[in-house]
Amino acid sequence: MTYVVNESCVKCKLMDCVEVCPVDCFYEGENMLVIHPDECIDCGVCVPECPVEAIQPDTESGVEKWIALNAEYAQKWPNITAKKTPPPDSRNWEGVSNKFELYFSPNPGTGD
């Protein structure tokens, strides 16, 4: 088992999770984060840190899309190990549906 970041992170990108990760397995896109599946040690410490519940185990039903997306973009985006200031409008995006289809950016973030 590993953990994945899902649609709830899109445009929220709060980054509380990256500071607690003991193996630095988060990667930063322009408007969301992903977890590298080969680096995640399944400790789960990031899960309660995410206020928008964007991190879930890869064993839950319906996460196949997120498993593939996390694996793909963890190879393309830069590593992030320290929390940054979230987007100024991040709270406005909490709980919004269909964010991935409408707003996901494949562009990388700046990383550390």
pLDDT, tens digit (0-9, with 9 covering 90-100), for 7-37:
999 999 999 999 999 999 999 999 999 999 9
Give the span between the Cα atoms of 5 and 24, in whole angstroms: 14
Could you tell me if residue 93 is inside a domain? no
Is the whole-model pTM more than 0.85? yes
Could you tell me if residue 47 is inside a domain? yes
Could you tell me if residue 108 is inside a domain? no
Q: For residue range 66-88, what is the model confidence (pLDDT) as tens digits?
A: 999 999 999 999 999 999 999 99
Could you tell me if residue 16 is inside a domain? yes
Number of domains in the chain: 1
**CATH number for the domain harbouring residue 81:** 3.30.70.20
Domain of residue 13, residue span: 3-87
